[in-house]
Structure formats: structure tokens, C-alpha cells
């Protein structure tokens, strides 16, 4: 039996993994939230690894509040960089293979074609910088790693764009949504399955990979699709980023090229709209 530790178990991806464990009978799971395992405390992480026999670790733990990170840099780096380093060191010491979740925000968004794993990183905000530093820590410490960059993650769990839109629709007749930031939504349930298949198949094709659903859209078009698929009638106004100022600069274009993960790991990827239907169905159940 292969034992898999999942950190950040109470987050979107962690909960989606918990949902499908029964489909992976060859894997035994240890789920840890921050109360069980604080990845920012190196000694606690080492103790946890020495107390439990672990074969693989999926590091879903992360500081993901993008706007808050600008004024809370210490904690963003503590979780996304130092935490990743602590996990990598424990994995290295105990011969554990690691899957680490990263982000499209490691790029500046100045390209107009999908970002490959070989493209130059250049984050434009603290969140992206802290995640990139975490990636680099892992690369320096641990050979047996999969770093999976994903984008616009949403699910039936936690706080995310899909659930925010549905919440706002409860008491609004109209809504303004940014239409000049392009990317691809990723259903966390799809990503969970990809990650567990990597472990189930005992892949040794370590390295950095990009994964999102297929297609390109804007936040405005994503919102429109959420309402259409939910049969909600709401007037949505497309606006520009400058009309909706936030604390954080965001990449204008963050579409990820998935050629490598499809070729190397034989991953099949659904169109983002198909996956949105699945997520809404789960949410309504």
C-alpha cells in the first residue's frame, strides 16, 4: 500500500482529493490541515514525517489570498516559500516523492500565446513571488518532485470565483466583471484526479508541469457561463481592469500550455465549460 500525505486538506483541492479517495484503493491517505501539521514549522514537519511512514506527499497548503498578500508579505512567504522548503527537506530526508501545487501567477502576463514550462518567470505581485520562491526551494532540495502550476482554481468547496458569482446573484440585478484578463478556469476536481493518477502510476517523470482545463476565456465570459449553466438571468457588464482597481496587479494573460503534461503523463483534459457543468452539478447536490 502506498501512503500519501495531503497537506492543506481543508482547502479546495484537498477536499476534492478526499472526495475521490475511494476510487484509488491502492493508496492510503493521511490528511493534514494546519491544526494537524503547520508546514511553516520545520521541526514539526520533520517530526510528522518521522512518526508516519509516508511514500508521497501532495502539498496543497498555500497562502492563496492574493490581495491580502500585498499587506501580509511575511505570512505569504512563510507559507508559500518557507513551508514549501520545509516540506521538501522532510521529503528529501525520508525519501518521499512530492507533488506541489503552484500557480500561473509566476508569470507577468505580457505574452499573447500560452505559457510553457520553459518560459521565463516574472511575477507581478507578492503572491506570485512567494509561490515562485517556493518552487525554487523545492527544485534545489528535492529531485523527486512534481511542481504543477494551475490557474483560476474553483470548486464546490471554499471561496472561489464560481461561488462568489452565485452568491452575488442572490441579491443583484446587474454585475460588472473584468473582461480584459484572459486565462483558463480549472476545476479542482479534475486536478485532484490528475494528481492521484500520477501517484497511482508511480510516475518518475519529475519536473514542472502546467495543468488547467482547456480553452481561453475572460472573467466576464466565465461569469456569463456560470449564470447560463445555472439558468440565472442577470445583466452582466464587461469592464476593464482599470475600472475595477484592486490592491494587487494581476497578469493580463495567463493561459497555460498543457502540451507537456499531456505528452509526458498521458493526461486527458476537458474543456473548461464541460468541467464547470460538473462543478455546478456537485454544488447543487
User: Cell numbers of 127, please?
Assistant: 503572491
CA–CA separation, 198 and 217 (whole Å): 28
Instruction: Name the grid cell of 180.
Output: 480584459
H or E stretch covering 209 = strand 207-210
Query: How far are the Cα atoms of 37, 172, 257, 258 from residue 87, in angstroms, in the given order?
Result: 11, 44, 27, 26
Per the annotation, the verdict on 206 as an active-site residue is no
Q: What Å distances lie between residue 102 and 178, 254, 281, CA to CA?
A: 24, 13, 27
Beta strands, E only, 79-173: 97-103, 145-150, 153-154
Looking at residue 121, the DSSP 8-state letter turns out to be P
Task: Extract the C-alpha cell encoding 197.
Answer: 493518477
Catalytic residue among 63, 77, 115, 127: 127
Tally the C-alpha atoms within 13 A of residue 256's C-alpha that lie toward its C-beta: 30
By annotation, the residues acting in catalysis are 127
Amino acid at each position: 500500500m502506498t501512503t500519501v500525505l495531503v497537506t492543506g486538506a481543508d482547502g479546495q483541492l484537498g477536499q476534492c482529493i478526499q472526495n475521490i479517495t475511494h476510487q484509488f484503493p491502492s493508496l492510503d491517505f493521511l490528511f493534514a490541515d494546519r491544526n494537524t501539521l503547520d508546514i511553516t514549522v520545520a521541526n514539526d514537519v520533520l517530526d510528522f514525517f518521522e512518526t508516519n511512514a509516508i511514500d508521497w506527499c501532495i502539498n496543497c497548503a498555500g497562502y492563496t489570498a492574493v490581495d491580502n498578500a500585498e499587506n501580509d508579505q511575511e505570512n505569504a512567504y512563510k507559507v508559500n516559500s518557507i513551508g514549501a522548503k520545509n516540506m521538501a527537506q522532510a521529503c528529501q530526508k525520508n525519501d518521499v516523492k512530492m507533488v506541489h501545487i503552484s500557480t500561473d501567477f509566476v508569470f507577468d502576463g505580457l505574452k499573447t500565446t500560452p505559457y510553457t514550462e520553459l518560459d521565463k518567470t516574472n511575477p507581478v505581485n507578492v503572491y506570485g513571488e512567494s509561490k515562485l520562491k517556493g518552487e525554487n526551494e523545492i527544485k534545489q532540495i528535492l529531485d523527486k518532485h512534481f511542481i504543477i502550476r494551475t490557474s483560476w482554481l474553483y470548486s464546490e468547496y471554499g471561496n472561489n470565483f464560481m461561488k462568489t458569482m452565485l452568491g452575488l446573484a442572490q441579491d443583484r440585478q446587474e454585475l460588472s466583471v473584468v473582461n480584459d484578463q484572459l486565462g483558463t478556469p480549472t476545476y479542482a476536481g479534475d486536478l485532484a484526479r490528475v494528481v492521484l493518477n500520477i501517484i497511482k502510476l508511480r510516475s518518475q517523470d519529475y519536473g514542472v508541469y502546467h495543468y488547467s482545463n482547456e480553452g481561453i476565456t475572460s472573467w466576464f465570459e466565465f461569469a456569463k457561463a456560470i449564470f447560463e449553466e445555472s439558468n440565472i438571468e442577470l445583466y452582466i457588464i464587461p469592464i476593464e481592469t482599470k475600472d475595477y482597481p484592486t490592491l494587487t496587479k494581476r497578469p493580463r494573460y495567463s493561459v497555460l500550455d498543457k502540451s507537456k503534461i499531456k505528452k509526458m503523463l498521458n493526461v486527458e483534459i476537458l474543456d473548461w465549460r464541460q468541467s464547470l457543468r460538473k462543478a455546478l452539478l456537485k454544488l447543487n447536490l
